[in-house]
Structure 1
C-alpha cells in the first residue's frame, strides 16, 4: 500500500525525492519504494521524520511497535557489539538469579576464571539444588587446534588455556550436582545459560571471543532464539561422556 502520508509530507515540506535520497544517502529508486509502501530502516525513519518535521509514528504507523514485538517474540533482550561490552554486573546478576540451571559451553572461558568467588558461588548453587554443567574444549581435538590457528595465536595456545581451565574447575569435582566434560565439536558459539536467561557469544573467524558479538537472550512462551541455542547446548552435551578421572 502506497505511503500517502510520506508523499504528502514531502510536498508540504517542498522536499523532492531526489533531495530525500541525498539526505538519506540512498538512491531515488529506494525513495520510490518508500513511497510505494516499503518501510525504511529505523535510523533512516528518524532522519526523514526530523527533516520533514513530522512524527515518525505518523509517517509509518506501527513500525516501531512491530520491531519491538518481533524482538520480544524472538527473545532478544540486548545485542552487544563485543562480548567485552557485556556489563560485568550482568554476569553477576544472571548467576545470582539462577536457581535450577547453569550451563557453560566454551573452549576455555578464561574470563570467568578471573572471578575470585566463582567456584564458591557455583558450589553454593549446586548445594542448593541447581544443576551445573560445564563443557570445556578437548585440548587434543582438531577443532580446538584449528580455532587456535584461526585466531592467530598459535596452534597450541588454546590447548594450554584449556589445561588452566580444567585445573581451575578441578576443585568442584567432589560436588555431585556439578559436572565438567570435554567436547571436541566446532565451537560456533560460546553459550552461558542461567535458568531462562542466556548469553550467546557467536564466534568470528580471525577474532578472539571478547571481540566477537554477544546476545542476551531470554526464554519466551513460544520457540525462540533461547530455545535454538539451548538445543545446541544439549546436542553438544549429548555428544560427550562423563569423565571419571574428574571424580
Structure 2
C-alpha cells in the first residue's frame, strides 16, 4: 500500500526518489518501496529522512511509534484534510480503483463524484467483475433525518433532491453481480468511503455542507482501531438499509 503522507511531503518539497536516497544513504529503489509499497525503513534511516524532509518521523511512518509511548495521533491516520474540497475527486476514485476485495460507500448523496467522474459506474462494474464486493448506501430522500439535515444546512430541499439524484446515478448498477445498492434513513455522522483496508471519512459538522467539513484518510493497522470502528458503523447502517428497486 502506498505511503501517501510520504508521497505528499516529497512532492511539496520537490524531492525525487534519488534526492531522498542521497540524503539518507540508501538506494533509490528503497525510497521507491517506501513510497509505493508502504515499506518502513530502519529507525535511524527514517530519522534521517524525516529530518531532511522537515516532517515528523511518526507522521511519515506510524509503525515506528513505540507502543508504550503516549500517542497524540492514531497510527492508522494517513492524512488529515481541513475540508473535503481540498481533495481532488481522484483521491476517491483512485481509492476505489485499487480495491481488490470490497468497496463500501455510506453517504446521503455525494453526487460530486459522479459529476466530476462520469465513469464512476463503469469503474464500480469493473471492480465487481474482478470479484470485488461493492455496497453503496445512500440517503432516503423521504426520511426525517435527511430532511432534518437539509434544514440544519439551511439548504431547503437541496439535500433531498441530491439524494434522489444520487439514486438516479447509481440505479443503472441494480442487478449487476457483486454490487448492492440500498437507501437508509439514519442520522449520518460521517460519510464513509472504504476500499479494502483504506478509508476516507468525511466528518459532518452541524450546519455545514460536507464539502466544507474535514476528511481523514485511514489505513487499517490491526483490530480494534479507528478503522474498525467506522467499518462497524457501516455494517450497522447497512443492516437497517432498504434494497433499492427499479424505478
> What does 1:48-67 align with in structure 2 at a 5 Å threshold?
none
> Which ranges of structure 2 fall in alignment gaps of 5 or more residues?
1-55, 66-70
1:115-160 CA distance string (max 9 Å, x none): 1111111001111111110001011111000000101111x22111
Provide the rounded CA distance (Å) in 1 between the counterparts of 2:72 and 2:87. Answer: 19
Question: Match of 2:48?
Answer: none
Provide the rounded CA distance (Å) in 2 between the counterparts of 1:164 and 1:139. Answer: 10
> What does 1:88-237 align with in structure 2 at a 5 Å threshold?
88-114=89-115, 115-154=117-156, 156-237=157-238
- TM-score (ref. length: structure 2): 0.69
- Contact 2:92 2:193 (8 Å CA) reproduced: no
Alpha-carbon RMSD across the aligned residues, in angstroms, is 2.1
Provide the rounded CA distance (Å) in 1 between the counterparts of 2:236 and 2:207. Answer: 26
Provide the rounded CA distance (Å) in 2 between the counterparts of 1:195 and 1:224. Answer: 15
Question: Match of 1:52?
Answer: none
How big is the shift at 1:64? Answer: 6.9
> Which ranges of structure 1 fall in alignment gaps of 5 or more residues?
1-62
Matched residue count: 183
SS at 1:119 equivalent: helix
- Contact 1:83 1:213 (8 Å CA) reproduced: yes
SS at 1:215 equivalent: strand
SS at 1:246 equivalent: coil
Moved over 3 A (4+): 63-68, 70-74
- TM-score (ref. length: structure 1): 0.69
Structure whose CA Rg is larger: 1
Provide the rounded CA distance (Å) in 1 between the counterparts of 2:76 and 2:205. Answer: 22
